[in-house]
Amino acid sequence: MNPQNIRNIAIIAHVDHGKTTLVDAMLKQARIFRENQQVADRVMDSNDLERERGITILSKNTSITYKGVKINIVDTPGHADFGGEVERVMNMVDGVLLLVDSVEGPMPQTKFVLRQALERGLKAIVVVNKIDRPNARPDFVVDTTFDLFVDLGADEEQADFPVIYTNALTGQSGLEPGEMTDNLEPLFEQILDTLPSPDVETEGPTQMQATLMGYDDYKGKIVIGRLNSGSIEKNQNVLHILSDGTQKPLKVAQVFTHQGLGRVEVERATAGDIIALTGLGNVGIGDTITDPEDPRPLPPIKVEEPTLRIT
């Protein structure tokens, strides 16, 4: 897959501002656009929905395809951030959606995550959700969001953010609160236009940093990260480089990419995509997975120990 046809994004949202509802609407509509159907309600019947919900246990991340572009939405932890997970997620994405309630505006809890995004130089689209609320005050919300960007040290380009207004419940969006379309196309178009595709080397040797860890009862440890360079295949021999420089040969078992609310196994994944690998039991956060013939270690990432321990 050409990395130009990928967008890796995170959604930053205060609890209850509508992240889950928006992602559901995006999933539903991406299917409609793909299948070129008109009838929204029939797209995801209850069996599909249940099946997909079941798979969320395996994947917190979501992926949709719009006009041939794969949009990977990486989940960000909402509250306490033990172990610097937000920082690590921000290293995998190239842009963020800052979702804010049209009445409440940005909340203190979203500030920390937004700061991390801005410090990483990421571009943001501000999504003012629940625009249907009777007491919505979109201008005030956009103004306070702008002030927050400035307070957090946004550069000129970052502070010049595009704004999309949404009703996630009905799946409507618009460039102005009074000009809503019956779909999320304005949002999808904005993601494609404003947020950059991953800056990766498709031709180079395999290189990935183990960024997030998952666990599956059947498959064991799942190592998640963005493939920075080259490609990676099922059963490929790789070199595992630890943060202290130790090198160990390993073999990838399976390669997964994200699709909808779940993960699908693929024979091969290419640079730019966010992937999940099995068979790498000893790999830890920050370690590099690379090509044994042309190893490219990545600088280790800081992993903070949780400050709270229950003994």
Q: Indicate which single residue of 167, 173, 190, 290 sits in contact with ligand GDP (rule: CB under 6 A).
A: 167
Which residue, 99, 116, 100, 191, is CA-closest to 153? 116
Which strands, in side-by-side order, build the sheet including 172-174? 62-66, 69-74, 6-13, 95-101, 123-129, 163-167, 172-174, 180-181
Q: Indicate which single residue of 129, 190, 197, 206 sits in contact with ligand GDP (rule: CB under 6 A).
A: 129
CA distances from 259 to 63, 136, 246 (A): 5, 34, 34
Tokens of 38: 């008109």
Q: Indicate which single residue of 7, 12, 21, 116 sits in contact with ligand GDP (rule: CB under 6 A).
A: 21
The reply to whether 221 sits in an annotated binding site is: no
Q: Which is nearer to ligand GDP, 22 or 283 (CB)?
A: 22
Q: Which is nearer to ligand GDP, 25 or 274 (CB)?
A: 25
* Residue 16 interacts with ligand GDP (CB under 6 A): yes or no: yes
The torsion defined by the Cα of 201, 284, 12 and 7, in degrees rounded to 10, comes to: 20
Q: Which is nearer to ligand GDP, 20 or 237 (CB)?
A: 20
* Residue 211 interacts with ligand GDP (CB under 6 A): yes or no: no
DSSP string computed for 98-113: EEEETTTBS-HHHHHH
The nearest distance, CB 16 to ligand GDP, in angstroms, is 4
Q: Indicate which single residue of 7, 10, 12, 19 sits in contact with ligand GDP (rule: CB under 6 A).
A: 19
The reply to whether 224 sits in an annotated binding site is: no
DSSP label at residue 119: H
3-state DSSP assignment of residue 36 = coil
* Residue 13 interacts with ligand GDP (CB under 6 A): yes or no: yes
**Which segment (19-27, 194-202, 244-252, 254-262) binds ligand GDP by CB under 6 A?**
19-27
Integer Cα distance of 98 and 256 in angstroms: 28
Residues of the shown chain interacting with ligand GDP in the complex, contacts defined by CB under 6 A:
13, 15-21, 129-130, 132-133, 167-169
Give the residue ranges of the annotated binding site for GTP.
16-21, 129-132
